[in-house]
Structure formats: structure tokens, C-alpha cells
Amino acid sequence: MLYLTSKEIAWIFVILIVIVVVGYVAGIVAAIRSRSFAASDAGRREEEQRLNDGWRIAFIQTGARPATGRIVVALLVGPIIVLFLIGALDLTANQSTSYLPGILMVGSLVAGVLLYLAGGLIVRRQRAGWTTVPARCTDQEIRRMIVVSENAAKREAWLCRIVCEFDHAGHSYRMTPIVHRKFARVTECDFPSEQEAGDFLRARVSSAGHCQVRVDPTNPLEGELC
């Protein structure tokens, strides 16, 4: 039977800290590179290919940039995880009666919860000024996907994509709105079954294609199905 001493467990935490730091730095570098390539034709083609891979309906680009608040929230995730692991490492390695490891671990957990809530509030606040307009759904697609979770487990999921046409401020627009969104999610949320995805669409889009979309008045190509 495998038995790990406190010293071995401490090294495991050290390795986890290194992995998180490396992944965090790599994520920042990738984000900076993607922003610098966004203006190039090659970067746009690569992004379009990623968004449309396997889809019959092509995604209509919105040109929207992520809110600064959401970027700050994303940048804080890495340090919070590192602080939690440092607290666990100190508790394991030193076996001391100090309150510091517990403070770091509990504080990190509380900060993580607050960060999640802050991310959701930022998304909701960003959409608070959006306008609801009547639209007509001209096409829709439900696609099966295999989602890989953080623990490498695979699950079946279903995503929707629809095309809506509407008039706003004297102009006609054609967009692919977000169909299903959850509290703190900025991107499309999946469904556990095709039946549930279909029921969701049928509840919001009439048989004649009539529906409502909530759009950003400053960028009507960005919006969501009501």
C-alpha cells in the first residue's frame, strides 16, 4: 500500500504550484499574442475557423472586446490558486501551530467564491443596458459535442446556434446570438441532452420563427436570445 510522508506530500504541492504558475504565465502570453494577432487577416481566419469548426451555421463576428473587469477577474484566478497551495504546503511541511496556513487556505477559498460572484455581477452589469427587440429566427442548429473537464473526464454535451434578423435604430441586422447563458458565463452554455436543447429553443422561438433578442445598443451584433 502506498504511503506518503509529509515531505513527499510537500513536494507534490511544490510541483502543483510550479504547474499552476507555468500555466498562468503561458495563459497570459497566449492572451497577449492573440490580442496582437487579432488585427491581422491570419488571426481573424484562425479565430473564424475555430468558431465554425464542425458547424453548418457560420458564426457572425460581433467585434466586441471583453470588458476590463472580466480581464482583471481572470488574472486573479492564478494567484488565488497559488496562495491556497502555498498554505497547504506550509501546513504539510512544517506541521506548525501557526494560523498562517489556515488563513491562506480559507482566505483563498473565500476569495475564489467572491471572484466567481464578481465575474457574474460584471457580466450582468455589462448587459444591464442592453435593449430587447423583436426578431425573426431564420435558421437554427443543434450540435453534439464532447466536452473535456478539468479532471480530463469526457462528457456528452449539446450546443445551439441560431441566426436572427431584426431592425434596430433604423437599420437591419443579422446576428448569431448567444442562446443559453448562465450567471457568470460570458460564452455559450451547453445542454446535457439534445432533447433539453430542443425544448429550450422551442420555448423561446415560435413555430413561425418569431423570438426576442437582447442586444447591445452600441454594438447590435452582440446579443442573446431572451
Higher pLDDT, 27 or 62: 62
Average pLDDT over residues 21-43: 61
Considering only CA atoms, which of 223, 173, 225, 222 is closest in space to residue 64? 222
Amino acid type, 127: R
- Output 165-168 pairs: Cβ under 8 A, ≥24 positions apart: 165/135, 165/136, 165/138, 166/133, 166/134, 166/135, 166/136, 166/213, 166/215, 166/220, 167/133, 168/131, 168/133, 168/215, 168/217, 168/220
Can you give the pLDDT at residue 177?
A: 92
Q: Whole-model pTM?
A: 0.62
Amino acid type, 71: I
Higher pLDDT, 214 or 86: 214
Residue 115 φ then ψ, to 5° = -65, -40
